[in-house]
Amino acid sequence: MSHSHSPALVPADVFLLGGDLPVRRLGYGTAQLTGPGYWGPRGDRADAVAVLRAAVEQGVTLIDTADNYGPGLAEELVAEALRPYRDDLVIATKGGVVRTSDSAWHVAGRPERLRAMCEASLRRLRTDRIDLYQLHRLDPDVPMADQLGALDDLRREGKIRYIGLDTLSADQLEQALSLTGIASVQNRFNLLDRSSDAVLRMCEARGLAFLPWFPLANGALTGEAAASLTDVADRHGATRGQIALAWLLHRSSVVCPTPGTGSPRHLSENLGAREIRLSAEDLDRLEGLASA
């Protein structure tokens, strides 16, 4: 499907992935639909399906998942809940990491492995093309050109639309951009951890989506460590988590957070961050929370 938009007409809460594929900037991540360590199911399958459907009903158009959530389970849930996929729904998944237990992660970036992983994701998602296929980790034992070359081959074959990268430095992003077209970067970034700010600035300069993982600092932002959020939250009649997500949306127009949850109530709370407009005073107050 082809999309043509004038930048002047694109709403503030929409980002054009790859320059032409619109997504609402606050999306939904599926990791929390799986058990501890992203291993096995978290609870009743029907509840997970219901949360995914509720996300789309409440305006989410970007679903972020990965082949190793479960493993395989999260992608299966996405297909069960959301097929046939709506025309405006963008499915992002990741490959390049193999899980053998709830605490064991193995990077696997050989071209034949990446191809096999992508094709397995296509089967689980029950689709002919993945909108955004992200390399979950760069494999230090495989040349970057070989890893990205495998994804480029899959793109030329029509099996993926856009390539994304997860967890890399600014220098690595510069190298990747010299090898092929990149549509997104997914690095850890939140109010308490801004160590990837240089990567975010590169994404701004190049028009790449920046998908911050752990956007709520894995729960720390709603705990006592971030108690100074309370004043800003109270001013807006919001929760501290909502303010943390609103801060990300205010931080840059390329930031597309995909917070995850298995709770319908928490889902609605997260999505309420779209309506919060932070003032300059609010933003100044929140600047002091950074630890990096």
The count of other CB atoms within 10 Å of the CB of residue 140 is 9
Window from 4-18, 37-51, 271-285 with minimum mean pLDDT: 4-18
Residue 282, classified by CB atoms within 10 Å of its CB into exposed (0-12), middle (13-18) or buried (19+), is buried
- At 10 the pLDDT is 47
Minimum mean pLDDT range among 30-44, 104-118, 221-235: 221-235
> Once rounded to an integer, what is the mean pLDDT over residues 202-213?
97
Tell me what pLDDT residue 243 has.
94
pLDDT for residue 229? 87
- Nearest Cα to 211, choosing from 98, 104, 90? 90
Per-residue pLDDT at 223 = 61
Give the tokens for residue 61: 């158009």
How high is the pLDDT of residue 216?
Answer: 85
What confidence score (pLDDT) does residue 292 get? Answer: 41
The pLDDT value given to residue 226: 66
Give the span between the Cα atoms of 236 and 245, in whole angstroms: 13
The residues assigned a catalytic role are: 69
H or E, element range at 105: strand 104-107
**What mean pLDDT do residues 142-157 have?**
98
pLDDT at 123: 98
| Predicted pLDDT at 8 | 42
- Please report the pLDDT score of residue 228 as a whole number: 74
pLDDT tens track for 122-142: 999 999 999 999 999 999 999
Is residue 258 over pLDDT 80? yes
Note the pLDDT of residue 11. 58
Phi-psi category of residue 123: left, alpha or beta, with phi > 0 → left and psi -120 to 50 → alpha: alpha
Q: Which residue has the tokens 């495989």?
A: 142
Q: Which amino acid is at 100?
A: T
pLDDT band at 254 (very low <50, low <70, confident <90, very high): very high
Task: Report residue 280 as tokens.
Answer: 């300059």
219-252 pLDDT, tens digit per residue, is 677 666 566 788 999 999 999 999 999 999 999 9
pLDDT in tens, 168-177: 999 999 999 9
Q: Which whole number is the average pLDDT over 84-95?
A: 98
Topology of the domain covering 14-287: TIM Barrel (3.20.20)
Decide the pairing of beta strands 14-17 and 184-186: unpaired
